[in-house]
């Protein structure tokens, strides 16, 4: 038997006792499950971060320092870090749309308070309260609300009393871009009321225009792999760009698989249209229709939930997991079961409100529904399926490449002396079967007999340095429905 050494030299007469470390037999375990996350958005001028630069971020305060209070990334960080579990997360601030505009809106007050109370305004799900004294006029209320808004450094808007109408509060989003049009502003939440005698009218934020150049994003991250990407922009141009890049990254020759996760507080019709417009298993959009929380915060918190749970087990369903930061929709805004079913058919993930009053995942799907011939294809419609397949792919590549990094290749039947760094198709086939058994122990696959009967491992007919493998593991499914026929006897 010949033992091959990588480091210890043989051509010396000097006495020695030396030992080298061989890692090639250490890869019996599973590939690392911790998932890398990238959160993409904008900063304000008060942030210290450089544009188009990736930063490792570990807290909301760090995000506030880097990207500015009330910035898009600060707000996304508030949602992301609501859950305390540690994840490998980075943030990047893209260049603000140079030709864009910031969304604007206003709050107009009228009347005179007939009793002491308060005005409650919710901006992007964040409560702003201004005290109202008996006898306060509308202009005093407007002034108090303006001060209360500007005192909260995590709000995505700034406020001023209108120069010509002192009963009106003008609002401007801190950053240019279309995303600002979807920031929700409302009076009261969960049964709250406005001080008697005071009335208010909200003009929704509009006029936000422009998108970031996502080519800057791809240039900034280069060949870095991120399993999950959370973005705020959901316009057609941006999503088309993201899908193109994610499709490139999943290619076998690139092997940088990643899934983009979006949230949506939009109406049923709006998010349904979005789901139908996109057909990609690397793109997930989750609806919390009617939530006061903005879409980008829904997406950021969902990304954290998925990263945590996929890091534990990519095949375990996400149903029943709860959001802690995203606010629940008011009762009248919640979708019915039939409406949720419509969204799932349109490639939109759905949520519900549980008994504890939290937004809860019903089912996470990708936007993929149709194959290249526009025929119904549900093979990659469930996010669990996508994540499990990606895990098997990455794990097997890592396992074989680490175990056989510098081996020679011989045909089956060739005599191989013990200790030689020679591998054969038969040995590789054995590794495939062993790895399947390990995946089976992890609860990721099933039906070993079928896997074994369909497994093909052969030496390439023209390239003698290549082994070709065809494997068809039966990916484990999720328990999603239980049907019971309950009879009884009197």
pLDDT in tens, 109-128: 999 999 999 999 999 999 99
Residue 452 lies in a domain: yes
pLDDT grade, residue 22 (50/70/90)?
A: low
Q: DSSP state, 229?
A: E
Q: How far apart are CA 149 and CA 160, in angstroms?
A: 9
Give residue 256's Cα distance to chain centre.
16
DSSP 463-490: -TT-EEEE---EE---------------
Q: What 3-state DSSP class applies to 169?
A: strand
Q: What 3-state DSSP class applies to 335?
A: coil
Q: Which two tokens stand for residue 122?
A: 């919710």
Closest CA to 230 of 411, 77, 447: 77
Q: Residues 114, 115, 120, CA angle at the centre, nearest 5°?
A: 105
Q: Which residue, of 183, 206, 229, is where some domain finishes? A: 206
| 66 sits in which H/E element | helix 60-67
pLDDT at 29 over 60: no
Q: The domain containing residue 244 runs over which residues?
A: 212-385
Q: Residue 150: beta bridge partners?
A: none
**Whether residue 417 sits in one domain with residue 372:** no
In this structure, which long-range contacts are made by residues 422-426, counting pairs with CB atoms below 8 Å and at least 24 apart in sequence?
425/457, 425/458, 425/459, 425/467, 426/457
Q: Which residue, of 206, 227, 250, is where some domain finishes? A: 206
**Whether residue 421 sits in one domain with residue 376:** no
pLDDT at 316 over 70: yes
How many domains does one find in the chain? 3
| Contact call for residues 224 and 265 (beta carbons, < 8 A) | no
- Please identify which residue in the block is written with the tokens 């005698």: 197
Q: What 3-state DSSP class applies to 160?
A: strand
pLDDT at 2 over 70: no
**Whether residue 324 sits in one domain with residue 225:** yes
| pLDDT at res. 356 | 94
Residue 19 lies in a domain: no
Residue 447 lies in a domain: yes
Mean pLDDT of 235-263: 95
Q: What percent of the chain stands above pLDDT 90?
A: 88
**Whether residue 364 sits in one domain with residue 478:** no
Q: How far apart are CA 115 and CA 117, in angstroms?
A: 6
pLDDT at 381 over 70: yes
196-210: burial string, b at 16+ Cβ within 10 Å, e else: ebbebebeebeebbb
Closest CA to 427 of 403, 460, 398: 403
Contacts of 268 (CB under 8 A, 6+ apart): 287, 289, 335, 339, 342, 343
Mean pLDDT of 264-292: 96
**Whether residue 465 sits in one domain with residue 436:** yes
Q: How far apart are CA 375 and CA 364, in angstroms?
A: 21
| pLDDT at res. 32 | 54
| pLDDT at res. 130 | 97
| pLDDT at res. 34 | 75
| Contact call for residues 228 and 268 (beta carbons, < 8 A) | no
| pLDDT at res. 187 | 97
pLDDT in tens, 66-80: 999 999 999 999 999
| Contact call for residues 409 and 464 (beta carbons, < 8 A) | yes
Q: How far apart are CA 203 and CA 103, in angstroms?
A: 11
Q: Which two tokens stand for residue 478?
A: 């999720």
Q: Residues 364, 228, 256, CA angle at the centre, nearest 5°?
A: 120
| pLDDT at res. 242 | 97
Residue 44 lies in a domain: no
Q: How far apart are CA 459 and CA 467, in angstroms?
A: 5
Residue 42 lies in a domain: no
pLDDT at 269 over 90: yes
Mean pLDDT value across the chain: 93
pLDDT at 27 over 70: no
Closest CA to 369 of 295, 446, 285: 285
Report the side by side order of strands in the sheet with 88-93: 54-56, 88-93, 36-41, 228-231, 259-264, 283-287, 349-353, 359-363
Mean pLDDT of 156-161: 98
pLDDT at 304 over 90: yes
This prediction has a pTM of 0.93
pLDDT in tens, 218-242: 999 999 999 999 999 999 999 999 9
CB atoms within 10 A of CB 330: 15
**Whether residue 198 sits in one domain with residue 111:** yes
| pLDDT at res. 300 | 98
Closest CA to 282 of 261, 307, 253, 251: 261
pLDDT at 188 over 60: yes
Residue 54 lies in a domain: no
Closest CA to 390 of 197, 246, 188, 242: 246
| pLDDT at res. 99 | 86
**Whether residue 162 sits in one domain with residue 268:** no
pLDDT at 97 over 80: yes
| Contact call for residues 364 and 383 (beta carbons, < 8 A) | yes
Q: Which residue, of 173, 206, 239, is where some domain finishes? A: 206
Q: How far apart are CA 418 and CA 155, in angstroms?
A: 69
Q: How far apart are CA 360 and CA 358, in angstroms?
A: 6
**Whether residue 377 sits in one domain with residue 239:** yes
332-364: burial string, b at 16+ Cβ within 10 Å, e else: eebbeeeebebbbebbbbbbbbeeeebbbbbbb
Q: Which two tokens stand for residue 92?
A: 């990047």
Q: Which two tokens stand for residue 44?
A: 């304000």
| pLDDT at res. 418 | 85
Residue 361 lies in a domain: yes
pLDDT at 13 over 80: no
| Contact call for residues 451 and 471 (beta carbons, < 8 A) | yes
Closest CA to 158 of 171, 142, 141: 171
**Whether residue 239 sits in one domain with residue 194:** no
Q: What 3-state DSSP class applies to 313?
A: coil
| pLDDT at res. 98 | 81
Q: How far apart are CA 307 and CA 38, in angstroms?
A: 11
Contacts of 16 (CB under 8 A, 6+ apart): none
**Whether residue 362 sits in one domain with residue 231:** yes
**Whether residue 231 sits in one domain with residue 201:** no
Q: How far apart are CA 199 and CA 114, in angstroms?
A: 12
């Amino acid at each position: 038997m010949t033992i091959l050494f990588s480091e210890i030299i043989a051509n010396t007469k000097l006495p020695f006792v030396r030992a080298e470390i061989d890692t090639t037999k250490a890869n019996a375990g599973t590939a690392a499950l911790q998932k890398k996350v990238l959160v993409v958005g904008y900063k304000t001028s008060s942030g210290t971060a450089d544009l188009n630069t990736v930063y490792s971020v570990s807290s909301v305060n760090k995000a506030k320092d880097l990207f500015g209070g009330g910035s898009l990334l600060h707000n996304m960080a508030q949602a992301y870090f609501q859950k305390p579990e540690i994840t490998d997360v980075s943030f990047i601030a893209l260049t603000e749309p140079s030709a864009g505009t910031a969304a604007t809106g206003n709050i107009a007050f009228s009347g005179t308070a007939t009793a002491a109370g308060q005005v409650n305004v919710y901006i992007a799900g964040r409560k702003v309260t201004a005290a109202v004294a008996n006898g306060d006029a509308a202009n005093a209320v407007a002034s108090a609300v303006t001060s209360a808004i500007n005192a909260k450094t995590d709000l995505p808007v700034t406020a001023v009393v209108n120069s010509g109408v002192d009963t009106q509060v003008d609002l401007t989003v801190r950053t240019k871009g279309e995303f600002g049009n979807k920031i929700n502003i409302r009076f009261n939440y969960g049964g709250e009321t406005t001080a008697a005698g005071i009335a208010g009218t909200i003009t929704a934020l509009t006029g936000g225009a422009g998108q970031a150049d996502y080519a800057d994003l791809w240039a900034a991250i280069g060949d870095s792999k991120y399993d999950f990407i959370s973005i705020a922009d959901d316009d057609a141009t941006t999503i088309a760009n993201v899908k193109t890049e994610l499709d490139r990254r999943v290619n076998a020759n690139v092997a940088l698989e990643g899934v983009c996760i979006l949230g949506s507080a939009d109406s049923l019709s709006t998010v349904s249209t979005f789901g139908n417009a996109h057909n990609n298993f690397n793109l997930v959009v989750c609806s919390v229709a009617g939530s006061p929380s903005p879409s980008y915060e829904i997406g950021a918190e969902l990304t954290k939930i998925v990263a945590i749970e996929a890091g534990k087990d990519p095949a375990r369903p996400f149903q029943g997991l709860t959001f802690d930061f995203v606010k629940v929709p008011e009762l009248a805004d919640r979708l019915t079961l039939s409406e949720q079913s419509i969204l799932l058919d349109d490639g939109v993930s759905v949520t519900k409100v549980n008994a504890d009053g939290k937004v809860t995942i019903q089912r996470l799907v990708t936007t993929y529904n149709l194959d290249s011939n526009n025929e119904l294809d549900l093979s990659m419609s469930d996010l669990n399926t996508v994540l499990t397949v990606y895990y098997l792919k990455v794990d097997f590549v890592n396992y074989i490449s680490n175990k056989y990094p510098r081996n020679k290749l011989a045909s089956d039947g060739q005599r191989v002396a013990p200790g030689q760094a020679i591998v054969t198709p038969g040995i590789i086939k054995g590794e495939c079967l062993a790895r399947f058994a390990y995946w089976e122990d992890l609860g990721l696959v099933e039906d070993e007999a079928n896997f074994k009967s369909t497994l093909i491992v052969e030496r390439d007919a023209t390239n003698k340095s290549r082994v070709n493998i065809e494997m068809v593991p039966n990916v484990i499914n999720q328990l999603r429905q239980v049907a019971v026929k309950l009879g009884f006897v009197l």
